[in-house]
Structure 1
Amino acid sequence: MELKDLIAKRRSVMPDQYNSKPISKAVIDQLLEAANWAPTHKRTEPWRFKVLQGDSQEALGVFLSEKFKSTTDKFSEFKFNKLRENPKKAGAIIAICMARDPEASIPEWEEIAATAMAVQNMWLMATDLQLGSYWSSPGLIDYMDEFFSLAPNERCLGFFYLGYYDTPSPERIPKPLSDKVEWL
């Protein structure tokens, strides 16, 4: 598939759409290798990943749902159940983390942008492998240091859900580029 077609085909495929086909370590390694080629200012390579499969996914769901229950003013049984069940629906979850350059030699937003580019590389590779994926950044992300062992300069930015699927997401048609570009 040509790169421009791959970019246009990339979609968010949600956990409810995943089937039960397992994802091999070799496939996850391909995604992580693609991520590792992302551009990065001053070669800080701030992306860090934590791969969850099996019992660790279920543990994540329990943690997220219980943390939601203990911290919200507006409890919703629906949201509680979704937080608990979605991790189990995925073939794997990759926690997206960023380790800030200890010297703070570049602005933090550049470290976040580099990590996002690493995720985009994974997303494009997943699309090429016909693997569904979705970046979730729940409001509970600020509590992930209670679930993961994070370095002092590291923080979790979200979860990259992965799963094989039977029915693709609908085609996305972006708004016209002319609405977003000004030629000077």
Structure 2
Amino acid sequence: MAEVFLSLGSNTQRYRHMTIALDSLHQQFGSLVLSRVYESESVGFPGSLFLNMAVGFSTDMSLKDFAAQMWAIELSNGRQLGAAKFSPRTIDIDILSYDDVCGCHAGIELPRAEILYNAFVLLPLSEIAPDHCHPVDGRNYRTLWQNYQSDQKLWPVPFQWQGRDISAG
């Protein structure tokens, strides 16, 4: 079983698409480890506020099949083929890590570079995997977040999923 960590983000019908993505992941992979949900400004383009979170779980799927499944969830949520990299998203599911795989595999660069420079990726990941070490940098995600320096702003927001507030606390 491979341990995977994902980043989920949405700035179009945000609560709806985040809920649908979580439901899809839960249905396909079972128990999920969830960070709080954060709101943040768009990075790289002017746009409406995003919701972001990190999700962790295990899978026996190959990386190639797993990546295809994540893409299928995005497409079923209205993700547009060929959309500009920096543009609004119904749902964006980024594979942050797949076990300790490093380098380009199945067309995916792992670990995902944004872990080290986007607060909306690193903070949620540090919540669900504080003692896991970045496979290239070597430091754990708690330490990476404690040493993070940027002017990116994000803040936790209430978010209900399966009858509970996953952003409480």
Q: TM-score of the superposition, structure 2-length normalised?
A: 0.34
Q: Which has more strand, going by share of residues?
A: 2
Q: TM-score of the superposition, structure 1-length normalised?
A: 0.32
Q: Which has more helix, going by share of residues?
A: 1
Task: Flag the structure with more relative contact order, 1 or 2, with Cα contacts below 8 A and sequence separation at least 6.
Answer: 1
